[in-house]
Amino acid sequence: MKEKLGSTNALYPLVTAIVGATVDGTPDFATIAHLGIAHLRGITLGMGNVHLTNKGIIENGTFSVNLPSEDMVAVTDHIGMVSGAKEDKSSLFELFYGELETAPMIEECKVTMECKLVEHVRLPTHDLFVGEVVGTYADVDVLTNGLVDIAKLKPLLFDMASKKYWSLGEPVAKCWSVGKEYAPQSS
């Protein structure tokens, strides 16, 4: 039996990222869990339009997406509770830049991406940003055969219902493979 939960968005868990941008020459960061993949190089961000970081994304047409590991949970949560309008968050991390030059990336995050803004949709309360990844940087210790190994990265997963950060579990099956064994039941 199912219970109807109103119009609750139940699309959780989602990976927690720290999104960076340069606002009036100063790097700023926001913790963002409402992000998604539009296509293999396309990233979407749903960001409340009151956030300072949005200003930098619009100003420069660039942003970074940094993936904190489990050991960065406290600073990730802090960034998500304090606005750059109240506290300068630019010195919380060691920063580096790629070819876009205005997308501040976080050295302490083992995987980071610099993105250029390709679409900006103004929703009533939120900015929907669509970015294209132009550069991806990863610490070698989270790679297996040159690819990001999520078991090594240990990303933070965000769940709205429990309001908790979760960690990854075990793999279940191989994609584009296990379905080959599936036999539809005939009624």
Ligand X SMILES: Cc1cc2nc3c(=O)[nH]c(=O)nc-3n(C[C@H](O)[C@H](O)[C@H](O)COP(=O)(O)O)c2cc1C
Separation of alpha carbons 173 and 175, rounded Å = 6
Task: Output 161 or 178, the one with its CB closest to ligand X.
Answer: 161
Is 48 a residue that touches ligand X (CB under 6 A)?
Answer: yes
Separation of alpha carbons 105 and 97, rounded Å = 6
Residue with tokens 């064994």: 181
Is 52 a residue that touches ligand X (CB under 6 A)?
Answer: yes
Is 84 a residue that touches ligand X (CB under 6 A)?
Answer: yes
Separation of alpha carbons 150 and 177, rounded Å = 20
Tokens of 19: 């999104």
Only segment of 4-12, 25-33, 36-44, 60-68 that touches ligand X (CB under 6 A): 25-33
Is 28 a residue that touches ligand X (CB under 6 A)?
Answer: yes
Answer for which of 43, 47, 117, 142 binds ligand X (CB under 6 A) is 47
Instruction: Report how far Cα 44 is from the mean position of its chain's Cα atoms.
Output: 9
Is 106 a residue that touches ligand X (CB under 6 A)?
Answer: no
Task: Output 83 or 143, the one with its CB closest to ligand X.
Answer: 83
Tokens of 85: 């309008």
Answer for which of 15, 20, 27, 33 binds ligand X (CB under 6 A) is 33
Give the number of other CB atoms < 10 A from CB of residue 163: 7
Task: Output 74 or 81, the one with its CB closest to ligand X.
Answer: 81
Give the SS3 label for residue 53.
helix
Task: Output 31 or 62, the one with its CB closest to ligand X.
Answer: 31
CA angle 105, 108, 109 (to 5 degrees): 65
List interacting residues with ligand X (CB under 6 A). 16, 28, 30-34, 46-48, 51-53, 77, 80-85, 158
